[in-house]
Structures are given as structure tokens and as C-alpha cells.
Structure 1
């Protein structure tokens, strides 16, 4: 099912077993920030970007290499070279995503990002492994994959936040492409561009969520009810520090930027610990100037 009805979604989702597939990816890939710069088109609908700040490409590259090193301690982590002509290319999870045996190509809103899906090296890598392609650029809806859609892989659930980066047609296309059992569609609050900044489902066992990022407060309340008791509720300031842009790439580790981790309170860290997670913090303040953080840098391989 795909619906805006939170009660219908909850009723259906509560009856599902965590048997839709593995809760965490078998590997991840990244795209290095070669020639790191801020994309003017992306800044038009990304309130987390400030085109007036100076950026240090060498520092961004060093932070990205450290991110790959840290991720590789939990799961195989592959890096593809970046393209200076695609300044947002270091956020591949918006453009590329996978389900078992399938590579999904997102339909990006901005032309500066649409060129990323043409990369023959990334597409060839998956083709060589026998992955079939599902190309969402062939349908009219905007669908920026796991930026706009949060997936609980264990239960086959999706949470699609609508904004300039995802519309209803795009949400329906992603629901089908990932073979989800149920997807809840809702509006993000004004000024929010991607769902993965306001929430994350961690290995199907915990939820990090910022209610102020949703247009209707009933939506985050319903999502939290489904994922209780391991729910970390963020303040707007914690969301702005990218505490919600986190990911569990393995069943026992949650990766978040250093700024996001520093924003968490002791009680919130304790909730993650009770859910069985170690919190791994990685310095990414240079990369965060581009309006995204750790989760945005990580594309999962299922």
C-alpha cells in the first residue's frame, strides 16, 4: 500500500514481520569530492547551504577519506572518483540506490545533478555484478531516492517526504522500484528539502526524528509510535547540526557527523546504546557547507 493515511499505514505496518530483507546493506559506495564547490542550483531549495561561505577542497577531500576509512571498519566501502563538473556528486544516495539485484537511478530536480546518473563507471560496476537497472528518469515524477525516501529495509516500509525534491508521482515510482510493502507519503515542513535530514530508521530497530521537519505533527507522532521504544526525538537545533542525517551501515554502529553527534544529549545517546548501537562520529564540517552530511554521502549496496 501507498498512502497519506497515517492510521491506515500504522494498522498495516504493525502486522508486518521484520522479514522483508536484510536490515543493513552488504556494502556501501561513495563519490569523492574532487574540486569541491557549492552548487548554485542546489542552493535555491536547500536552506542548509550558504553560498557566501568559503570552502576548502583539500579539507573536504581529507574528511571524505576519513569517512571512507571509518565506514570500511564496519562494511566494505568503495569510492568512485568525483567530477569537478558535478559539485553535488559527493552525495550519491540521491541519484543511485539499490534493492537486491537492482540498481535504481533517481530523477533529480536540478540539471546540475541530472548529469550524475549518466556515469558509466558506476552503472557499469553494478551491471558487471548482474544488477538490472530501474531508471526513474523515464517517469515524470521527481524522485531523489534515499534523500527523499527513508526505508525500513527489514520491514519493507518507506517514508516519503514531499518537497521540491520529491512529488507524489516520484514517491509512487520509488515505492514500486524498491518493492516496498507500504509507503507513508507526507509533506515536509516549509524549507525542508530532504527527508533524510529530519529522520532516519536505524537497522529497523531505532528511529531518529525531528517533528519540526514535518508539515503535520501527527505524522512524526505516528512514525515514532511504530518504532517505539527506541526513538530519539531531535530539536530543531539538533536537526540543523545534522544529527538526523545518520545511518546504521551495520547492525551495531550508527555513523553521524561530529557536529551531529556533539548536538546529541546524554539521554539520546543512551537510547541508541539501549538499541544496541555504538555511535561513531566523523568530522565533516567542510562537507556540510554543501548542505548535506554523512548519510547523504553514503549509497548503500543491497
Structure 2
């Protein structure tokens, strides 16, 4: 690991490149096995964090709100993501404000008529929330993150279906916790063990919940809520501060 830009990264901790690639392929095969289409973003030399593809944009109904990364180590990723989405034929809107795509934005089409939940505090600037609302035409609920270990929204909150979420309350400010409790009274609440195992950095299709195999407690919670947990091994990717969701950008055509 050449640099550290979040609390999970440690330049003194080696990453097994071969195993990391194997685990990424395992995630890809899991998604394909569940019937999902998987597009691949070609890697660019010198940009190792591109494996966390969710950070490059945020898509709602085919409109792409692009990313503008906070840290210089990731700045060049934005152009690669833009090229991918434009080749895909989507309407791409370049941002004026700093934001890290689906790292800090998520969309629930059936929650209160359709809501974008947006995190801020470490990477994405609050001004990007207003910009996203104008670009995407959906109401945005701003949620302040307060624990640097959960530096992106997708490390502390995840949609389980089109109208409900799972989240770790203590990652958010007191006011944000009140907002989430009001909006999602039936949410699955994670504890610290779940959150530290990256159990909220998950992807769900409304039935299957693909999540880090280390997060056994979170798997039990989503199973109790009526979903089917699908564990995948991503220990090497976790060393960079990401897991399942970080590796998956949802197109939302």
C-alpha cells in the first residue's frame, strides 16, 4: 500500500495482490450468479483505489452525477469514470462540488416518494448535496458523519430494498440519528461489531444481501429481517477501507 487516506489504510500492512484480485473475481461471480449484469471499469496504472468503483459517480434514472475527489491520490479517477459512463450512453453531469459518488450518496425510490440520502463530514461537501438535488431532481436528506472510521456514508448505512435501510447509529450526529429514526422506523440497526466488520458496506437487490463474510452478526440481522445474506470474502479489499459496496457502482437506469 503506497499511501493512507483513511483510518483503515496502513502503509506498513502488506496487501496480497493476487488474493485481492481473486477475492474481487469472487464478488463478480457472486453477483453474476444472482442474475445481475456486471460491467467492468478498466483499471488505470497508478490508481489502485479504482477498485472501489462506487466512488466515481452517482446514478439515478440514467442521469450520472460525476465525482470530484477530495484527495489528490484519487483525483484522476474522475475522468476514467466519466469516460465509462459517456461510453455507456448515460447523461453525464460534471460536478462543481467535491463529492465521492455512491460513497456518500444512495437512493431509495420507494421511501417517502423517493429520497436521496447523502453523507458529509469527511469526504463530500454539503454543497454537493444541493448540487445533486438540482442535477437529479430528487429530494436530498443530509446526514452528518462524525466518526472518521466511517468516512463514507456507505460504510455506515445501506439500502436493503427500495424503501428500507440498515445503519449504524453511532456513526452519525445526534440530529442525523433522529432523522433516520423518523424516516426509517423499521430499519435494521447495526452494532459496533457489525460496522467494524464492514457489514454495512453491502449490496442488496431487495432479496439477496451480499456482504463481507466477516460480518456474521450483520448477516444474522438481515436474515431475521427477511432477507437472504450472501457472504463473500473480501479481507484484502477491506485493508483499503472498503468492501462489497465500495466495489460496486449501481447504474439505476
Fold equivalence (TM over 0.5):
yes
Deviation for aligned residue 1:58: 0.5
Task: Report the equivalent of 1:30.
Answer: none
User: What secondary structure is seen at the aligned counterpart in 2 of 1:301?
Assistant: coil
1:133 corresponds, among 80, 83, 92, to 92
Deviation for aligned residue 1:170: 1.5
Task: Report the equivalent of 2:203.
Answer: 247
CA–CA distance in 2 between the matches of 1:285 and 1:222?
33
User: What secondary structure is seen at the aligned counterpart in 2 of 1:254?
Assistant: strand
Task: Report the equivalent of 1:189.
Answer: 146
TM normalised by structure 2 equals 0.90
Task: Report the equivalent of 1:296.
Answer: 246
TM normalised by structure 1 equals 0.76
CA–CA distance in 1 between the matches of 2:61 and 2:165?
23
How many aligned residue pairs are there?
248
Deviation for aligned residue 1:264: 2.4
| C-alpha contact (below 8 Å) 2:66/2:82 kept by paired residues | no
Task: Report the equivalent of 2:61.
Answer: 100
**Equivalent residue runs for 1:162-173 within 5 Å:** 162-173=120-131
- The worse-fitting range, judged by mean Cα deviation, of 125-134 and 109-118 is 125-134
What is the CA deviation profile of residues 3-46 of structure 1, one whole-angstrom value per residue up to 9, with x for unaligned ones? xxxxxxxxxxxxxxxxxxxxxxxxxxxxxxxxxxx352xx33x2
Consecutive unaligned residues in structure 2, runs of 5 or more: none
CA–CA distance in 1 between the matches of 2:22 and 2:250?
21
Deviation for aligned residue 1:128: 4.3
Which has a greater percent of strand? 1
CA–CA distance in 2 between the matches of 1:135 and 1:166?
15
Deviation for aligned residue 1:246: 1.1
User: What secondary structure is seen at the aligned counterpart in 2 of 1:80?
Assistant: coil
Consecutive unaligned residues in structure 1, runs of 5 or more: 1-37
| C-alpha contact (below 8 Å) 1:165/1:193 kept by paired residues | yes
CA–CA distance in 2 between the matches of 1:239 and 1:169?
27
Task: Report the equivalent of 2:231.
Answer: 281
CA–CA distance in 1 between the matches of 2:45 and 2:131?
30
